[in-house]
Amino acid sequence: MVDSGTILIVEDEQDMLLGLQRILSKQGYCVDIADSGAAALEKVRQSDFDIVITDLKMPGMDGIDLLRKVKAEHADTLVIVMTGYGTVENAVEAMKLGACDFIAKPFDADHIRMVVRRVLKQVSLTHENRFLKQQLKGSRDVQNIIGDSGRMQDVFKVADKVARTDTTVLLLGESGTGKELIARYIHNNSRRKNGVFIPVNCGALTETLLESELFGHEKGAFTGAVSTKRGLIEIASGGTFFFDEIGDVCPAVQGKLLRVLQEREFMRVGGTTTMTADIRIIAATNKNLEQCLKDGSFREDLYYRLNVIAIRLPALRERKEDIPSLAQWFVRRFSKKMQKNISGMPRDVLEVLMSYDWPGNVRELENAMERAVVLATGGQTIQLCHLPDKILQAQLNDGTPASGLSYREAKQQTVDSFNRDFIKRLLKMNDGNISQSARQAKMDGANFRRLMRRCDIQAEEHK
Ligand SMILES: Nc1ncnc2c1ncn2[C@@H]1O[C@H](COP(=O)(O)OP(=O)(O)OP(=O)(O)O)[C@@H](O)[C@H]1O
Ligand SMILES: [Mg+2]
């Protein structure tokens, strides 16, 4: 298993320092080293580490001193201290000063790995908490919703207005256009923002599941109901309920939902008291509900209850001007997550992204950018060869190279795509054998390898 996280090891004994570095690097962590407290502090000030592992006894600034300074300047960085034989008191002091764990020397590799993994779990929880808090703040910037196009600005205008009310909202739009994102945005900007946001995928609900999940049940209501259970609607009280994929709900469930919407009242299964549902309802679907009304698969009364304020999320192809900022944002996000420092993308890549139709909308773009960041070399930019074939192919089939490309750029793009297809096919025919493929192509082995590198092709993937 490969793990991720950034670690600084501080130790004045060279052998120990390098040994630890080897153990943790092998595990997949990004490891830096320092042989004194002063050098470590310098590094901590320059970059962000998840964990600092420090020896306690060092000449000059010792581990306790370093711990104090790191905690004062970077409260979020977790510090693990290493203590030699007979210095347990020091470890206790270190824990009091904010160290999160200690390792007694001598130790074995397995123990170190286990402690680091446990501490890193704590790091990801802290990050998650910070993220949740940010989400609650609710502004578009904080939530990272991108959309400068006129079409998206119109969406935000309505969303901002409706957020101030308790009105039911119906979000329409193709798959991947950002319906759930806008639902959360409305919640986070409403008076209910400190309450919960509960999304429920209605398509997955059967009638029985719906009843007990949404409304809860009393003890003994049916076999297996050994205790009283609160339903999601009760739990969501004071918050927002998001009925996702509302167009996929079966007729029996539609009737039940209608009651919730109409009366804002419900009863636990097996219960006798009527309860009030204090929830704002937001529903979403990628189906054409009017068509569903016509063919009888969706109830008209439910439709009118839901369709108080409808917001239609435009498809990405209808707001292509948002593509560059969305793509750049996704690259930044994934590059940070994978610690690859990818510095955006050149114009030819953007041109291809702009000329594609994105049937899977923002989600498809997000996935394409994640894949591109995985394939790209750290410290460099995204290249055409990192885009899925489907996207490059669409452009070739179109016959027109991306607008604004020079003859040389357009030719290069076509050549790159040809090379990639050619090599992949050859490797496949030769079961991933590079020398055999090169021979068949009447190419020199080294040239063939160079071309493979240029196209980012791994032989093993094309057996
Ligand atoms: N304007 C945007 N800015 C940033 N990210 C976006 C934007 N719109 C969508 N996304 C991202 O694209 C992905 C798909 O969005 P979301 O799940 O909200 O779409 P959806 O309309 O609910 O799709 P589906 O109908 O398939 O459920 C998510 O990861 C979301 O964060
Ligand atoms: Mg969705």
| pLDDT at 10 (0 to 100) | 96
The ligand whose atoms approach the alpha carbon of 184 most closely is: 1
Reading the block at residue 236, the tokens are 């969501």
Compute, in angstroms, the gap from residue 363 CA to the centroid of ligand 1: 6
Q: Is the CB of 181 under 6 A from ligand 1?
A: yes
Residues with Cβ within 8 Å of residue 132, at least 6 apart in sequence: none
Give the pLDDT mean for 55-80: 88
Q: What is the mean pLDDT of residues 311-332?
A: 94
Q: Which of 320-324, 341-345, 375-379, 412-416 has the highest mean pLDDT?
A: 320-324
Does the Cβ of 147 fall within 6 Å of ligand 1? yes
pTM: 0.61
Nearest to 323 by CA among 377, 365, 262: 365
Q: For position 1, what pLDDT does the model report?
A: 41
pLDDT at 438: 92
Give residue 126's pLDDT.
59
Which of 61-75, 274-288, 387-401 bottoms out in mean pLDDT, i.e. has the lowest? Answer: 387-401
pLDDT digit string (tens) for 365-380? 999 999 999 999 888 8
Which residues place a Cβ less than 5 A from the ion ligand 2?
180
Distances (CA, A) of 110 to 15, 67, 153: 18, 24, 54
More confident residue, 98 or 133: 98
Mean pLDDT throughout 315-337? 93
Tell how far the Cα of 358 is from the centroid of ligand 1, in angstroms. 13
**Beta strands 78-83 and 309-312, pairing class:** unpaired
| Ligand 1 pocket check for 179: Cβ under 6 Å | yes
Q: What pLDDT shows up at residue 280?
A: 94
- For residue 454, the number of C-alpha atoms closer than 13 Å in the C-beta half-sphere is 16
CA–CA distances in Å: residue 104 to residues 29, 84, 85, 108: 21, 6, 7, 10
Query: Given a cut of 70, is residue 87 above it in pLDDT?
Result: no
Pocket lining: 90 vs ligand 1, CB cutoff 6 Å:
no
CB 364 less than 6 A from any atom of ligand 1: no
What atom of ligand 1 comes closest to residue 285's alpha carbon? 25
pLDDT level of residue 128 (50, 70, 90 thresholds): low
**Bigger pLDDT: 83 or 308?**
308
Identify whether the C-beta of residue 149 lies closer than 8 Å to the C-beta of residue 105: no
Does 344 score more than 90 pLDDT? no
- Domains recognised in the chain with CATH numbers: 6-134 (3.40.50.2300), 142-314 (3.40.50.300), 320-462 (1.10.8.60)
| Cα 364 from Cα 360, distance rounded (Å) | 5
Place of tokens 């160290």: 99
User: Looking at residues 421-450, what average pLDDT do you find?
Assistant: 89
Ligand 1 neighbour 366 (Cβ under 6 A)? yes
229 in helix, strand or coil? Answer: strand
Averaged pLDDT, 135-158? 75
In tens, the pLDDT along 202-246 reads 887 777 777 788 888 888 888 777 788 888 888 888 899 999 999
Model confidence at 399, pLDDT cuts 50, 70, 90, reads low
Closest CA to 323 of 385, 376, 366: 366
Better-scored residue on pLDDT, 340 or 397: 340
Which segments of 4-67 are extended strands (E)?
A: 6-10, 30-34, 51-55
Cα–Cα distance for residue pair 340/170, rounded to 1 Å: 39
Place of tokens 């610690």: 339
Q: Is the pLDDT of residue 362 over 90?
A: yes
Binning pLDDT at 50, 70 and 90, where does residue 277 land? confident
Mean pLDDT (the chain, rounded): 85
Q: Which of 141-145, 402-406, 441-445 has the lowest mean pLDDT?
A: 402-406
Backbone angles phi, psi at 104, to 5 degrees: -90, 135
- The answer for residues whose C-beta is within 8 angstroms of residue 411's C-beta and 6 or more apart is none
For residue 251, say if its preceding peptide bond is cis, omega within 30 degrees of 0: no
- pLDDT greater than 90 at residue 174: yes
- Of 316, 362, 364, best ligand 1 pocket probe by most atoms within 8 Å of the beta carbon: 362
Query: In this structure, which residue's CA is closest to atom 5 in ligand 1?
Result: 145
In this prediction, residues 391-411 reach a mean pLDDT of: 65
The answer to whether 424 and 389 have CB atoms below 8 angstroms apart is: no
pLDDT in tens, 6-52: 899 999 999 999 999 999 988 888 889 999 999 999 888 877 788 99
